[in-house]
Amino acid sequence: MVIDDSSAMRLILGRIMRSLGFDVVEAPNGAEAIARLQSGAMPEIALVDWNMPVMDGLAFVNAVRREEKWRQITLMMVTTESEQSQIVRALAAGAHEYVIKPFTPDAIADKLALLGVLAY
Amino acid sequence: MTITAGAFTFVSDLLQQHAAIVLSPGKEYLVESRLMPLARQIGLDDVGALVARLQSRPDDALRRQIVEAMTTNETSFFRDRDPFNAFSQAILPDLCKERSATHRLNVWSAACSSGQEPYSIAMSIVDHPLMTPDWQVEVLATDLNEEMLERARQARYSQLEVNRGLPVAMLVRHFERAETDWRVVPAVRGIVRFKQLNLAEAFDIPQMDVIFLRNVLIYFRPSTKVEVLKRVRRILRPDGYLFLGGAETTLGLDDAFERVMVGSTTAYRHKGARPMQMPSRLSAAVAGAGLSALPRPGSTLGPTPGSAVRGVASASHPPPPVGWPFQASTNNSISSQGRR
């Protein structure tokens, strides 16, 4: 699941994930992503932007981590937020990994491999 | 040697147009180091000539090659991952036991390029629970290229570079912000010593416990490979370990080495070296990638060598519990630290 308010970024990340063999669903903010999860979507991994309208990425991570049924979802922030304190906040909330924009497709693949959702 | 401002701007614009990557001023070394092999490969003297060729006529293939060379990171933190897992999970425990009387450890990163390999080694050591502060550790990092060494000494990496191969937990633990870049913290920098060295000539360096000589031999002629391996063998301690690149081997070049499997990777040892004590199974995740030792928001960042027992994280799921990793660090148990 690619969650980003920028349609261009969703397109780029969607392309990268498809090229790595994933099926991709998209959401333009955290609230819509939660709605998709509530309607039964169960992604293996969610790539989550931080700054989005309606519900931001950190709120999304907190919301997902509150629900036992969504514990299997791996959460990776993909964001321009690059302050150390922000990274620590996201990890403390339950994000597994963190990619700071800008990134290369290899960086996404590397991180997915680190998380064990993609073979090296 | 540095490329001209005009050539740098040209490459910078090219990257922005075709890869949406902004190359900030001051990254001339990056353009030089990434494009020089390509220039040589197509028979040109330097990067300036390469840029001039593309400027003189449209050439989609060359443009693509340049963009690829600039965006494909040949060196990254924890590159290939397996040798670092073997180092942390099998070799360090083995050597810690064997060197318990001296508490000294010497590791050599030959051809260290821009420094990611020696700093990855140093981070692995600093994070290792057995490496208490009374150990005297040195990671010797050498390279032929003085400019690369200077860059490595700076220990400063761009956002793109830290996105590659480096678990984010290690980024926050072992790096600090330096404007838009990230800089390795002094606790890690302090155990790395840089030195200019030409592998193809005789060299004088101390005896080593572990040698990372990865993706270097491929650039040498067979006769030079034999010479390099002979010299490397002389400085590798009798029970030491040598890592080569995935496409490299000592077979047919130096029969005094034997190949051993450490987890899912290959290392080389002196023939007849004492057997290593191997754990039954190595984790696939980068050791130290676990987040249990993350600083709390607002706390002082950076590690204290050997001060915290850090579980070896497993790459398997499930995801962390709510409140993790701080909840886990409160429990301070290996099993909870190891969850991810």
Report in angstroms the alpha-carbon separations of B161 from B165, B215, B231: 9, 19, 32
* Structure tokens that stand for B91 in this block: 């070799």
Q: Hey, where are the domains in chain A?
A: 2-114
- Given B22, B167, B177, which is nearest A102 (Cβ)? B22
Which residues of chain A neighbour B329 with C-beta distances below 8 Å? none
Distance from CA of B158 to the nearest CA of A (A): 10
Asked if the C-beta of A99 comes within 8 angstroms of chain B's C-beta atoms, the answer is yes
pLDDT band at B169 (very low <50, low <70, confident <90, very high): very high
Asked if the C-beta of A63 comes within 8 angstroms of chain B's C-beta atoms, the answer is no
Say yes or no to pLDDT of A95 above 80: yes
Q: Is the peptide bond before B279 cis (omega within 30 degrees of 0)?
A: no
Which residues of chain B neighbour A74 with C-beta distances below 8 Å? 317, 319
Catalytic residue among B82, B94, B127, B143: B143
Asked if the C-beta of A53 comes within 8 angstroms of chain B's C-beta atoms, the answer is no
Across the interface, do B172 and A83 touch by the CB < 8 Å criterion? no
Catalytic residue among B34, B79, B81, B269: B34
CATH of B82-270 given 3.10.180.10, 3.90.25.10, 3.40.50.300, 3.40.50.150: 3.40.50.150
CA closest to A74 among chain B residues? B319
Distance from CA of B182 to the nearest CA of A (A): 10
Taking alpha carbons only, the member of B243, B238, B232, B233 closest to residue B268 is B243
B67-110 pLDDT, tens digit each? 877 765 567 899 888 999 999 999 999 999 999 999 999 999 99
Q: Hey, where are the domains in chain B?
A: 5-71, 82-270
pLDDT of B214 reads 93
pLDDT band at B315 (very low <50, low <70, confident <90, very high): very low
Helices A57-66 and A30-38: angle between axes, nearest 10 degrees: 30
- The torsion of the CA quartet B137, B143, B149, B153, rounded to 10 degrees, works out to -10
Across the interface, do B160 and A98 touch by the CB < 8 Å criterion? no
B143 has catalytic annotation: yes
B336 compared with B292, residue with greater pLDDT: B292
Across the interface, do B163 and A88 touch by the CB < 8 Å criterion? no
pLDDT of B292 reads 40
B236-261 pLDDT, tens digit each? 999 999 999 988 899 999 999 999 99
For the segment B272-286, the average pLDDT, to the nearest whole number, is: 75
A&B contacts, CB < 8 Å:
104
Across the interface, do A96 and B340 touch by the CB < 8 Å criterion? yes
> Which of A32-41, B8-17, B46-55, B317-326 bottoms out in mean pLDDT, i.e. has the lowest?
B317-326
For the segment A79-91, the average pLDDT, to the nearest whole number, is: 93
Say yes or no to pLDDT of B309 above 70: no
B34 has catalytic annotation: yes
B5-71 and B82-270 in the same fold: no
The rounded percent of chain B whose pLDDT value lies above 90 is: 49
Asked if the C-beta of B302 comes within 8 angstroms of chain A's C-beta atoms, the answer is no
The mean pLDDT of chain B is: 80
Helix (H) or strand (E) holding B242: strand B236-244
CA closest to B176 among chain A residues? A84
Matching residue, tokens 């993909």: A78
Matching residue, tokens 């993350």: B294
> Which of A42-56, A88-102, B266-280 bottoms out in mean pLDDT, i.e. has the lowest?
B266-280
Which residues of chain B neighbour A72 with C-beta distances below 8 Å? 317-319
Report in angstroms the alpha-carbon separations of B21 from B14, B165, B184, B249, B267: 9, 19, 23, 37, 37
Say yes or no to pLDDT of B278 above 60: yes
pLDDT band at B339 (very low <50, low <70, confident <90, very high): very low
Asked if the C-beta of A85 comes within 8 angstroms of chain B's C-beta atoms, the answer is yes
CATH of A2-114 given 1.10.10.10, 3.40.50.1110, 3.40.710.10, 3.40.50.2300: 3.40.50.2300
B36-78 pLDDT, tens digit each? 878 888 888 889 999 999 999 989 889 888 887 776 556 789 9
The class of domain B5-71 in CATH terms is mainly alpha
B178-236 pLDDT, tens digit each? 988 999 999 999 999 999 998 888 899 999 999 999 988 876 778 889 999 999 999 99
Taking alpha carbons only, the member of A106, A38, A105, A45 closest to residue A77 is A45
- Greatest distance between any 2 Cα atoms in chain A: 36
B139-159 pLDDT, tens digit each? 999 988 787 899 999 999 988
